[in-house]
Amino acid sequence: MGGAVSAGEDNDELIDNLKEAQYIRTERVEQAFRAVDRADYYLEEFKENAYKDLAWKHGNIHLSAPCIYSEVMEALDLQPGLSFLNLGSGTGYLSSMVGLILGPFGVNHGVELHSDVIEYAKQKLDFFIKTSDSFDKFDFCEPSFVTGNCLEISPDCSQYDRVYCGAGVQKEHEAYMKRLLKVGGILVMPLEEKLTKITRTGPSAWETKKILAVSFAPLIQPCHSESGKSRLVRLPPLAVRSLQDLARIAIRGTIKRIIHQETVNKQGNGLKNTPRFKRRRVRRRRMETIVFLDKEVFASRISSPSDDNSCEDLEEERREEEAKTPLETKPGPPVNFLREKVLRLPLPDPLKYYLLYYREK
């Protein structure tokens, strides 16, 4: 499934293409997609395909096409502080993007059938937290993953504001999926070959909307133990943050507001987006064309409008364009102002690194 938009040269260009095709429609979803580089969730030998609008599968590891994730993120209508359950959480790519929107007071849980994929997802999450330039720009709701079959979730589990299932759901399991949802919540899942959005409007009232046709591998049916009983999946408890963690969130938030205000004062009209790197336009060279008609030369050359300009004219035009667009050079690496501020605080080093989540850069 996929191929709805052109491939990008990098993550930003892929997102540009998804926006142009109207798969990404809101700023909140766009920011989350730009913050998490899709290539980071690929194995090294397959990264050349990371920015294509195609699904990827290697063994048990699987990523849906970017256009599918875009529609899912938009349909979930995510807000800070909500609870989210990802059924078939896979690499954790979607859960990480969702966590950037939920913020520090949300709940972000995932259930994955394969233990090796859970291990892979934890490695990718750790890499994102420790190395991503985007981490300090957001307040992150870190995902928690558990191993098990999503059709065997304990019946006494908490309900969620948002639920996504990344495998094909048959009609017989629709009621089971709905039970996981709070009143007012949204469930998005592939139901009978259609990506479907279900909103719970009351204790027994639902609104259903078909989004688009999709093709997903079906949910794997539970394998009962020798005793004939199913292995119930226990979801992580809803933990209460420690006072120390709350203080870290508050301090980081205060520093971010100070940085924002300093930027406003410096620029005069608020934060401006960092200029995107502009790729140099490639000019076509003049080509001589020979046309044969009945085995005889009919014309030795066919001119085109661009042929009227000499090489000197083209060079002059190129210089004029460069003078008009001084942003042709790629900008330097972004500065992490939050990190700089924290490291300058009059605090012991262990406390500084705690405020930075022990990040490597």
Position 296 pLDDT exceeds 50: no
Position 318 pLDDT exceeds 70: no
Q: What is the structure's pLDDT at 345?
A: 92
With beta carbons less than 8 A apart as the criterion, state whether 88 and 112 touch: yes
With beta carbons less than 8 A apart as the criterion, state whether 94 and 218 touch: no
Q: What is the structure's pLDDT at 336?
A: 86
What is the per-residue pLDDT across 138-157, written as a single tens digit (0 to 9) for each? 999 999 999 999 999 999 89
Q: What is the structure's pLDDT at 301?
A: 43
Superfamily of domain 62-238: Vaccinia Virus protein VP39 (3.40.50.150)
178 exposure class (CB count in 10 Å sphere: 0-12, 13-18, 19+): middle
Q: Please, which pLDDT band fits residue 269 given cuts at 50, 70 and 90?
A: low
Q: Mean pLDDT throughout 239-249?
A: 91
For residue 219, the number of C-alpha atoms closer than 13 Å in the C-beta half-sphere is 28
Alpha carbon distances (Å) from 173 to 204, 213, 332: 16, 19, 51
Predicted model pTM: 0.79
Q: Please, which pLDDT band fits residue 223 given cuts at 50, 70 and 90?
A: confident
Rounded to the nearest 10°, the torsion over CA 300, 305, 311, 312 is 140
Alpha carbon distances (Å) from 325 to 53, 276, 319, 329: 31, 12, 10, 10
With beta carbons less than 8 A apart as the criterion, state whether 72 and 47 touch: no
Q: What is the structure's pLDDT at 21?
A: 95
Hey, where are the domains in the chain?
Answer: 62-238, 241-265+335-360
User: Quick count: other Cβ atoms within 10 Å of Cβ 162?
Assistant: 25
What is the per-residue pLDDT across 189-220, written as a single tens digit (0 to 9) for each? 999 999 999 999 999 999 999 999 999 999 99
Percent of the chain with pLDDT over 90: 66
Q: Mean pLDDT throughout 350-360?
A: 87
With beta carbons less than 8 A apart as the criterion, state whether 306 and 317 touch: no
Q: Mean pLDDT throughout 320-347?
A: 73
Q: Please, which pLDDT band fits residue 286 given cuts at 50, 70 and 90?
A: very low
Q: What is the structure's pLDDT at 127?
A: 94
Q: Which residue has the higher pLDDT, 92 or 263?
A: 92
The Cα–Cα gap between 313 and 319 comes to 10
What is the per-residue pLDDT across 33-77, written as a single tens digit (0 to 9) for each? 999 999 999 999 999 999 999 999 999 999 999 999 999 999 999
Average pLDDT across the chain, whole number: 85
Q: What is the structure's pLDDT at 133?
A: 82
What is the per-residue pLDDT across 5-43, written as a single tens digit (0 to 9) for each? 778 899 999 999 999 999 999 999 999 999 999 999 999
What is the per-residue pLDDT across 297-312, written as a single tens digit (0 to 9) for each? 444 444 444 445 555 6
Q: What is the structure's pLDDT at 109?
A: 97
State the catalytic residues.
Answer: 64
Q: Please, which pLDDT band fits residue 2 given cuts at 50, 70 and 90?
A: low
* Residue that the structure tokens 């969130």 belong to: 249
What is the per-residue pLDDT across 78-116, written as a single tens digit (0 to 9) for each? 999 999 999 999 999 999 999 999 999 999 999 999 999
With beta carbons less than 8 A apart as the criterion, state whether 106 and 70 touch: no
| SS3 (DSSP) at 63 | strand
